[in-house]
Amino acid sequence: VEIAASAFSATDLQGTLVIPSRVRKIGSEAFWDTRLTELDLSGATSLVEIGERAFAETNLEATVGPVAVAHVAEEGREVDPSE
């Protein structure tokens, strides 16, 4: 399963986003310009790619992990699963 590029960008999406185990890719700018405050990747065992600027311009304050992602786009917002 893939979350398409710009899928939720510039929406009123807010709060905690939990990425489920079946998601393999998060497209570029998928959650750009949202009001997300927390990203939970603890169950995202299939996630291998996070696209460019996927979480840019958000209110992310915390990330829950761990998760191993094979590719994070060069301009993607850095995600530290240890936080």
With a pLDDT cut of 90, the percent of the chain lying above it is 71
Closest CA to 40 of 53, 31, 29: 31
Comparing 78 with 20, the larger pLDDT belongs to 20
pLDDT at residue 65, rounded to an integer: 77
pTM across the whole model = 0.81
Residue 10 clears pLDDT 60, i.e. is over it: yes
Residue 40 clears pLDDT 80, i.e. is over it: yes
pLDDT at residue 83, rounded to an integer: 46
pLDDT at residue 63, rounded to an integer: 82
